[in-house]
Amino acid sequence: MKPILTTERLNFYQFLPTDGYLIKDLDSDPEVMRYLTDGKASDDAEVERIMKILMGHYEKFGEEFGVWKAYLDQDFIGWFHYRPLKANPDDISQIELGYRLKQKYWGQGFATEGSIALVKKAKNDPRIKALWASAMKGNSASQNVMEKVGMSFHSDWILESWPGEDKRAVWFKLDL
């Protein structure tokens, strides 16, 4: 299978309908899920829901937008997303980028490397006017990646659906 996107060390591919086990494994680490579900692992029903969303992105956008699995050589390290904002899924002028990586790959520059590739992709698409990214307020590592790729703090917001006590989140933005 040909990668959708490559970086110096990573290859991005579309998920296959049979790849739910990759999501299940990634989401089983409480530290990976700390700022997503307050540490709760995704159960089978959640993995199935996620896979339907991923396949729906591919049906709608092909290889242009979506959530892509990331590999370092033959190792699945996590995923990156590059998709319209959830609030307006048909507006491709406003794209959200994000990622979720296995803990053993943290602190090695992979989040930054993959995000830089997505910023470059956006800059080469004249339809895209802005890139967005969000994180929980306490997730300084993700906010550092956003800054490294050229994004700036945009606003604070409250993530009501967050299961933890501290529901504060932040938006970062890069105008193109």
CATH of the domain at 66: 3.40.630.30
Q: What residues make up the domain containing 167?
A: 5-175
pLDDT band at 146; cut points 50, 70, 90 = very high
Q: Mean pLDDT over residues 138-145, rounded?
A: 95
Q: What is the chain's mean pLDDT, rounded?
A: 95
What is the count of structural domains for the chain? Answer: 1
Residue 117 · residue 11 · CB < 8 Å: no
- Angle subtended at Cα 39 by Cα 65 and Cα 25, rounded to the nearest 5 degrees: 60
Residue 165 has pLDDT above 80, yes or no: no
Phi, psi of 34 (to 5 degrees): -50, -50
Residue 45 has pLDDT above 80, yes or no: yes
- The single-letter code of the amino acid at 158 is I
Residue 161 · residue 116 · CB < 8 Å: no
- The single-letter code of the amino acid at 112 is T
Q: Mean pLDDT over residues 64-89, rounded?
A: 96
